[in-house]
Amino acid sequence: MSAGYGDKTAYPGPVYSYGIIIGYQRMIREGLYASQFANALILDWFDEGGDKAGSGLMLLLTTRLGWHFDFRIFGLPLYFEAAGEINVWPISTKSPPGFSELDAKYPIFIFAPALNLGIKF
């Protein structure tokens, strides 16, 4: 589940995930922030024919450090965030054969840049 961007390796079918996220964000100083997220997921794996190949659990942990900038365009309050994050998958259970062989090729963590643009409420 941690294939790098641009990797053309394909799973032998789709994977659907359902879960809940708990997060915490703290402003360290003006504009600089750190955040952490825990995402508990239920995964459903399907083969190429659309039949369910299995179900399992995954825990995704994310730590992010970035810069937050507030601004206005035509009176609309907006924000922009640029950050770097580390994602870790310490728990991943019951991956069916075919999927687990591909997962074994990659580390359980990945570093990723993050850019967010949004409306400030």
Extents of the domains making up the chain: 15-119
Specify whether the backbone of 90 is left (phi greater than 0), alpha (psi in -120 to 50) or beta. alpha
Beta-bridged to residue 67, according to DSSP, are 32, 82
Identify the pLDDT of residue 86: 96
Beta-bridged to residue 114, according to DSSP, are 83
- 47 φ, ψ (degrees, to nearest 5): -85, 180
Per-residue pLDDT reduced to its tens digit, 49-107: 888 888 999 999 999 999 999 999 999 999 999 999 999 999 888 888 877 877 778 88
